[in-house]
Amino acid sequence: MPDTMATTAIPALEWGSYPVPSGSEVTRHRFGTTTMHISQGRPVPGEPELPVMKVAITYGPDDGSVEPVWSFLVPARMDHSYIIRPVYPSDPVCIRIDTPLSLARDATLEGWFTSIIDLELVTGGLAVTTYPLEPPFRTLFGSPDKGLVCRFGNAAFEFQESAAKASIRGCQARVLHPVRLRNSSDDKITVQDLVLYGEQLSAFWTGTHLQSETVAFTFGDSGVRMSVDSQGKRPADWTTLATPRVSSEELALGRSIQLLKSITGM
Amino acid sequence: MNEATTAVDGTAMAGTATEAATGKAGAPSPVFGTMLDDVFGKDSLFGKIVNIDFAMGAIRLVLAVILGLLILGIVVSIIKRLTARRGDSRLGPLIVKATQYAGFTLITLNAFKMAHIDLSALLGAAGIAGVALGFAAQTSVSNFISGLFLMSEKTFSIGDVITVGDITGVVYSIDALSLKIRKFDNLLVRIPNETLIKSNVINITRFPARRLNITILVTYDTDLQLARRILMEAAMANPAILRNPEPFFAVQKFADSGIELFLGVWFPIDSYEPANNGMFVEIKKRFEAEGIRFAYPTMTVLQSGQAVTAQQVQPAPAVQPAAVSTEGVQSKKSRASAARKPAAPA
């Protein structure tokens, strides 16, 4: 595997800033199996000239077989460049692990899995829109009467770091998550679905792939709780591409209110 | 005559002047009292009623009512804020209404007392009036009590989509006596709480996901494995359909005109339109592409034991939500038919 890794060329980082194409030119950005097409919009004849961008997302091969369906964007502010950056989906993502994991009482398991990330388009300093880099299927985590509707994702759970990194080497649409699973309940549990709240995570470009902080899932008798180990040291050459949208203070406050509600029944 | 008149007037004038000087009239403002006498005439019936005591009492009464309403307003706004903070859209309006009614009753009783109106006489009459009012307010009281039960059950809240009888819409407001529903064609419907207590209420948006039930009638020559695969693929290709719980497929029965298939797919409650329309369009497209035919009721007519003609009987929609089944229609037609073949597609 290391030999293969050494020979595979890493594509240049696609995330970044680009000039708005002139005239009818179209710029294409390829992320995994998804292509983003961007072009300058043509003002409507007879209407005042507005800065308009044309954007389209196509899933599948980028061989022209899929005709892009354009959306016209009229940003509040627009300069002659735009930024595309990764952003975690606003909805929680339910990752279905290919092979269910069995955890004995008090057992801890470390491993790796990946999740798909969204694309955010920024121009004039303002985030204009986001696009999922895979068709956004949804799923239900939990029972139909109390469950949580979340973005669907499936991934393999890797026990080896090298295998995990090799699986997404050069891919800029998926993020690698180091995870730690802990069963603090009184019984043995089987884990197949993990709900990932991306709003709490960062995304770093390591030079070969995107990676997040270590995510811990603690399974208790009352449910599962996700927490982020954001204190871990990261190499200096990693580039931060996405930062958490929710601070740890906000999370702590939100959780305290939820706890109070559940205790008091308010 | 003139002197006598003068004497009488002079006495009267002197007397009035003395009273005014000593303030014996009992009024805080004799000048104001004199003005009232001037306006209404002291000896007139109206003048006897509208004296300075009456005027002061009336002012006190008005002030007390205004003050009472102000205090009630403040209390109600505090309660509104508290209930809004708790986010209880069902109980909040009811508590506010109850407070308002209680406040108005207190203000009214206080006003009666200040006006020196003997309430005991009123209460005596209230026995009779109560019976009359009881009859008159029977519906309102029933609705109010029903509202309390509805609040305690917490079956729905503002913003939920519910069905009551044949009315479906978004809960617009929950009041003490009635529920207001905004239908999808933007009509406001008022439903008395009593009706809600007596009716079946379906809350469509209570849970995060729903199942769309699709019943499909296909001809007897259909490859059921192929039909199953197509249906499952159609479900998995629709982004509005949830991956979990997985779609459910079943062969329902061998019906008169074809094989009845069932497909249940789950979708988030906010995705009814893309889930429903997407599934029906895709199923029709995929079935037509794969050569699977929808069945519709047919009957065969035998004439004098000679000629046999297969005749189409009013085509019915073959793909339909289970809730709108045409079983009844089919069975009536079946009874009418003299002879029947299981599969005779046109």
pLDDT at A75 (0 to 100):
78
Going along chain A, which residue ranges are E strands?
Answer: 16-19, 26-31, 34-40, 53-59, 71-73, 81-87, 93-103, 108-116, 118-123, 126-132, 138-141, 148-155, 174-183, 189-196, 203-205, 210-211, 214-220, 223-229, 239-242
Instruction: Identify whether the C-beta of residue B141 lies closer than 8 Å to the C-beta of residue B101.
Output: no
Name the minimum distance, in Å, from the CA of B323 to any CA of chain A: 20
Q: Which chain A residue shows the shortest CA-CA distance from B85?
A: A266
Q: Which residues of B touch A148 (CB under 8 A)?
A: 208
Considering only CB atoms, which chain B residues are within 8 Å of A152? 242-244
- Contact flag A138-B242 (C-beta cutoff 8 Å): yes
**Are B266 and A144 in contact (CB < 8 Å)?**
yes
Note the pLDDT of residue B60.
87
CA distances for B149 relative to A266, B40, B140, angstroms: 19, 56, 14
Amino acid at B285: K
Give me the DSSP letters along B100-152: HHHHHHHHHHHHHHHTT--HHHHHHHHHHHHHHHHHHTHHHHHHHHHHHHHHH
Which residues between 120 and 149 in chain A have a beta carbon less than 8 angstroms from any beta carbon of chain B? 135-141, 144-149
Per-10-residue mean pLDDT for chain B, 346 residues long?
A: 41 42 47 63 65 80 90 88 70 80 88 79 74 80 83 85 94 89 95 91 93 95 95 94 94 92 95 95 95 86 63 51 39 38 36
C-alpha distance from A152 to closest chain B C-alpha (Å): 7
Subunit contact A140:B209, Cβ cutoff 8 A = yes
| φ, ψ at A135 (rounded to 5°) | -55, 125
Q: Is there a contact between B209 and A266 if contact means CB atoms under 8 Å apart?
A: no
Tally of CA atoms within 13 A in the half-sphere of B58 that contains its CB: 7
How do the pLDDT tens digits run along chain A, 266 residues long?
444 444 567 778 889 999 888 877 889 999 888 999 998 876 666 666 666 788 999 988 877 788 888 888 877 777 788 999 999 999 899 999 999 999 999 999 999 999 999 999 998 888 889 999 988 999 999 889 888 999 999 899 999 999 999 988 888 999 999 999 999 998 999 999 999 999 889 999 998 999 999 999 999 887 888 888 877 778 888 999 998 888 766 766 776 666 566 555 45
Instruction: Please state, in angstroms and rounded to a whole number, the distance separating the CA atoms of residues A238 and A215.
Output: 18
Q: How far is B207 from chain A (nearest CA, A)?
A: 5
What pLDDT score does B134 carry? 79
Of A135, A140, A266, the CB nearest to B208: A140
Q: What angle do CA B321, B323, B326 make, to 5 degrees?
A: 80
Backbone dihedral angles phi then psi of residue A82, each to the nearest 5 degrees: -140, 160
Query: Tens digit of pLDDT for each residue in A207-242?
Result: 899 999 999 999 988 788 888 887 777 888 899 999
Please tell me the distance in Å from A140's CA to the nearest CA on chain B: 5
CB A260 within 8 A of CB A266: yes
